[in-house]
């Protein structure tokens, strides 16, 4: 009997090997984080300069050096792009000073904040933040979180001063860290002149001494 024949005289068939197929790749290229970053930074800059109403996806794409379709794939609507841009803006933190004196700490802190809002870019950022917080609750939440983070940092100045015995232990720190921001926001909303760097000594005096007429 021939080795290739079975007992019935027919040729045996050798099972064919199954070729294992490589896993199929997903459609399209993976997203480039650097492209995402460029788009967000471009949108943040335009939001700061123009606000939401004058922001266009075409301008964001041109500033980021990408096509409009690239932006649309990541953020199908302008609202979502604006929220991402504001999140980027609010991630910037201003370090709080630690000079060993509450008065000089306040002077440096106030000078930093007021110096920023005294620039055209800083004033535009302030007014845009207030307007966008009213327009979109998501941006309001981001703004609130950023403000609370800054307040927490400012509280440390007062806690250090309390430990040194420089201010009263029963001080209401929340009032102290919020009053300047409230003044700035109120003047921005009512379109009145914002505090200037030249007013910093008077603002610090108001914080440290209040309105008490005694020694």
Residues 6+ positions from 44 with CB-CB distance below 8 Å: 85, 86, 88, 89
Domains and CATH numbers, the chain: 33-90 (1.10.10.60), 102-209 (1.10.357.10)
Instruction: Note the pLDDT tens digit of each residue in 106-126.
Output: 999 999 999 999 998 888 888
Query: Alpha-carbon distance 169 to 174, whole Å?
Result: 13
* CA 40 to chain CA centroid, nearest Å: 10
* DSSP letter string, 36-74: HHHHHHHHHHHHHHH-STT--HHHHHHHHTS-HHHHHHH
Q: In a 3-state reduction of DSSP, which class is residue 126?
A: helix
What per-residue confidence (pLDDT) applies to 92?
Answer: 74
What's the CA angle centered on 123, arms 117 and 125, to 5 degrees?
105
| pTM metric for this prediction | 0.72
What per-residue confidence (pLDDT) applies to 105?
Answer: 96
- What is the largest distance, in Å, between two alpha-carbon atoms of the chain? 124
Q: Residue 21 pLDDT > 60, yes or no?
A: no
What per-residue confidence (pLDDT) applies to 29?
Answer: 54
Burial state string for 162-177 with b = 16 or more CB within 10 A and e = fewer than 16: beeeebeeeeebeebb
What per-residue confidence (pLDDT) applies to 122?
Answer: 87
What phi and psi, each to the nearest 5 degrees, are found at residue 137?
-60, -30
Tokens of 180: 């300047």
For 129-152, the three-class secondary structure string (H helix, E strand, C coil) is HHHHHHHCHHHHHHHHHHHHHHHH
How many CA within 13 A on the CB side of residue 97?
A: 15
Q: In a 3-state reduction of DSSP, which class is residue 5?
A: strand
What per-residue confidence (pLDDT) applies to 96?
Answer: 83
């Amino acid at each position: 009997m021939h080795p290739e024949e079975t007992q019935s005289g027919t040729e045996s068939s050798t099972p064919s090997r199954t070729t294992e197929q490589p896993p199929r790749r997903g459609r399209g290229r993976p997203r480039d984080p650097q492209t995402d970053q460029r788009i967000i930074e471009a949108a943040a800059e335009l939001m700061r300069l123009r606000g939401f109403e004058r922001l266009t996806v075409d301008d964001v794409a041109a500033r980021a050096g990408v096509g409009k379709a690239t932006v649309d794939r990541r953020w199908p609507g302008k609202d979502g792009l604006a929220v991402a841009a504001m999140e980027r803006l609010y991630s910037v933190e201003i370090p709080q000073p630690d000079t060993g004196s509450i008065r000089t700490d306040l002077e440096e802190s106030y000078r930093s904040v007021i110096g920023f809002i005294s620039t055209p870019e800083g004033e535009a950022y302030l007014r845009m933040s207030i307007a966008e917080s009213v327009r979109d609750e998501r941006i309001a939440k981001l703004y609130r979180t950023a403000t609370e983070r800054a307040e927490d940092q400012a509280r440390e100045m007062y806690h250090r001063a309390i430990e040194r015995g420089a201010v009263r232990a029963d001080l209401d720190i929340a009032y102290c860290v919020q009053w300047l921001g409230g003044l700035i926001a109120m003047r921005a909303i009512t379109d009145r002149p914002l505090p200037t760097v030249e007013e910093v000594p008077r603002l610090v005096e108001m914080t440290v001494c209040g309105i008490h007429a005694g020694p």
